[in-house]
Structure 1
Amino acid sequence: MSFLRSTAIALTAAVALTGQALAADITIRLAHLNPEDPTQSHSGAMAAVFKSLVEANSNGAIEVQLFPNGQLGKDNEVIDQVRTGVVESTISSSGGLAQHYPLVGVFDIPFAFPNIGVATRVIDKDSEFGKKFVADLESKTELKVLGLLDSGGFFAFTNSKAPITSVEDMEGLKIRTMTLPTHEAIISSLGGKPTPLPWAEVYTALQTGVADGQMNPVPIIAFAKFDEVQKYLSITNHVITPYVWTINSDFYDGLAPEYQTLINWAAEVATDAGRSASRVIEASDKGLPALAAKMEVNVVTPEEQAKFAEAAQPAVRALIEEQYGAEGIEMLDALLGSIEKQNNF
């Protein structure tokens, strides 16, 4: 279903609810890290569409309460809350999820995805790899996965020192990473100094010099206003990570079958809306054009990208093998095989 059609359905549903005073029998508290405005973040778009569809199509029997901007705590803390039933659902970054399911780190092999089309087809809970990944995650966390998508696009570097045009330019830079060993390995292999920090601390760390730079997709760089504390934006497209939408399994299993069907359908439509929102934000005046007006932007050449890959890929693969053993390598190879298959699609 297209983003425009999904949005139209959501808006129609919202209008249908206007003026009604229905008492909800069921409450779903949905948390995420990003802005609530659906035009600013993909998780904001997902949450808004999901809320509208579920409330309208349950005739008000289900209320969806939204908690954006990390209101309920750090990413990994909110996942804890979902696992224990304090909160029903959350849309999480791989950094938060890694503390509950470390194998999410297999996505962090640099330059594994050739383009966003392949990434979209692979990073999906119904893809061949997605089904394998979701089944393993659910069995180890006892969470149910409602959606799997990219975190907003390919990662780029920002920093306050100088443009990054080659591996040599990374030398000594303090780069904030998520609390992911694989991300730390990427920065170390390139000569930088990884500085793992939770999301809530990133802006201040960049502002005060605790970190010289960071890496994130363009939509996240834009809504986080990193252009206020960073001068240089270097388009490397070196990695793309997942966002994972989960719900408490006991809560979900306790719902009537018709409500389970509704939640599955609404989450599928909302996830499609989130993917489309990321592409729109990237290309709109809220994304790269806006950043380019305030920052010095450069694109790393394919020749230099190959040198980045040559330095970083072996380091990440070695870390996955060291930390996660045969299981990690098997999951990584399944991912790479799926990428190759989709690239030849």
Structure 2
Amino acid sequence: MRLSTKFFALALAPVMALALVLGTAPQAAAQKSIKLHHLNNDDPFDNATGAMATVFKSLVEAGTNGQIRVQTFPNGQLGKDNEVLQQVRAGVIEMGIHSVGGFASIYPMMGIIDVPFAFPDIAATYEVFDGPFGQKFAADMEAKTGMKILGFGDSGGFFHFTNSRKAITTPDDMKGLKIRTMTLDTHQAMINALGAQPAPIAWAELYTALQTGVADGQMNPVPIIAFARFNEVQKYLSLTGHLFAPYVWAVNMKFWDTLSPEEQTIVQNAARSAIVAGRGISRIIEASDRGLPALSRNMEVNALTPEQKAAFQAQAMPAVKQVIADKHGDEGVAMMNAFLEAIEQAGN
């Protein structure tokens, strides 16, 4: 005897409800999912990666009518940056917004952009990384890591020095200071060339290291200095603007290849818009009461004159260029020269 349609509907209702919860209902099965790692809070008004992740999620989900869902994993929830990068590479998660320090673990030539005191202003960084050099650099990363690169985000602007002992106005002022660096040969070579002692310390341990005197100082952009509350444990902020270290937005290539051409365009354009949003929030934080004005209330702030910057550049740049040549050979020197040429052409 045949069961009624009504009986079937009643019998299947709990199953369909469970399928919806588990994401296995027929409509949900057609959806694609992106797990996105980044290093900071998800608040789009708090930091650059929070803004990037929020804008990206909104644009991708709206642009695909919900057929691609984006789940963000902020604050390094999935592990250390270099460890999560391996998860992206292996396809455990789909994408991540990574620091140069993290990305250097699988692409050592990341260090060619660490030539100190190379950029004249922040606008030039955008022109360089969005232009032909950025495309060339991304293509080399893709060829050597097997991952798709969506672009280069702003980690907060130029790096500046803070320390607990004295104002820094000349290279001689660096002598005797222990300065925290990432575990990058180029960063350590720069600090050594300026007469200071590099101290590779994990980010999670840095505040305590500064507080206890394990390190005298560190270098980071203004929004990160404010965000990390280093003004509580550092007295001097010297606006040296010596480095720009972009975020690298990487995607698992196998996942990228599962996207249709239309979906790839939506994802790529969403990332570009998100990068612009991250740059904007970095500049706003830097200039607002949450950035430099706030830091200046309990830190002694000094900016280098062009002549003072030239003295730092003359002492630090040759040492870093030599490290790049020694470590990466002719290929690294060629990429570094392309980088420096792009900076010279920026704004022209």
TM-score of the alignment, normalized to the shorter chain, above 0.5:
yes
- Who is 1:112 aligned against? 118
1:239-275 deviation line (CA, Å, top 9, x unaligned): 1122110110101111222221211111111111111
- Who is 1:276 aligned against? 280
CA–CA distance in 2 between the matches of 1:248 and 1:203? 33
- Who is 1:249 aligned against? 253
C-alpha deviation, 1:32, in angstroms: 1.0
Aligned match for 2:201, one of 185, 197, 201:
197
- Who is 1:11 aligned against? none
CA–CA distance in 1 between the matches of 2:74 and 2:207? 17
CA–CA distance in 1 between the matches of 2:110 and 2:103? 7
- Who is 2:45 aligned against? 39
- Who is 1:102 aligned against? 108
C-alpha deviation, 1:325, in angstroms: 0.5
Larger CA Rg, structure 1 vs 2: 2
Could you tell which deviates more after superposition, 246-255 or 23-32? 23-32
Q: TM-score, normalised by structure 1?
A: 0.90
- Who is 1:311 aligned against? 315
1:138-193 deviation line (CA, Å, top 9, x unaligned): 00001101121332211110111111121111111111111111000110000111
For the 8 Å contact 1:123–1:150, the answer to whether it is kept is no
AA aligned to 2:80 is: K
> Is structure 2 residue 90 aligned with structure 1 residue 84?
yes
Aligned match for 2:271, one of 267, 273, 281:
267
- Who is 1:140 aligned against? 144
Q: Specify the SS of the correspondent of 2:290.
A: coil
AA aligned to 1:76 is: N
1:32-86 deviation line (CA, Å, top 9, x unaligned): 1122211121111000000111122222222211111111111111111100111
For the 8 Å contact 1:74–1:199, the answer to whether it is kept is no
AA aligned to 2:234 is: Q
For the 8 Å contact 2:151–2:249, the answer to whether it is kept is yes
AA aligned to 2:108 is: P
CA–CA distance in 1 between the matches of 2:90 and 2:60? 23
CA–CA distance in 1 between the matches of 2:116 and 2:144? 26
Aligned match for 1:331, one of 331, 335, 339:
335
For the 8 Å contact 1:107–1:242, the answer to whether it is kept is no
AA aligned to 2:66 is: G
1:62-81 correspondence to structure 2 within 5 Å: 62-81=68-87
Aligned match for 2:231, one of 221, 227, 234:
227
- Who is 2:153 aligned against? 149
- Who is 1:184 aligned against? 188
CA–CA distance in 1 between the matches of 2:176 and 2:41? 32
For the 8 Å contact 1:74–1:198, the answer to whether it is kept is no
For the 8 Å contact 2:129–2:135, the answer to whether it is kept is no
AA aligned to 1:244 is: V
Could you tell which deviates more after superposition, 263-272 or 132-141? 263-272
- Give the percent of matched residue pairs that are identical in Structure 1 and Structure 2: 60
CA–CA distance in 2 between the matches of 1:153 and 1:281? 10
- Who is 1:7 aligned against? none
C-alpha deviation, 1:23, in angstroms: 4.1
Q: Specify the SS of the correspondent of 1:145.
A: strand
* Cα RMSD after superposing both structures: 1.5
1:273-323 deviation line (CA, Å, top 9, x unaligned): 111111111111111111111211111222221111111000000000000
> Is structure 2 residue 210 aligned with structure 1 residue 238?
no
- Who is 2:162 aligned against? 158
Structure 1: unaligned runs, 5 residues or longer: 1-20
> Is structure 2 residue 63 aligned with structure 1 residue 57?
yes
CA–CA distance in 1 between the matches of 2:104 and 2:270? 26
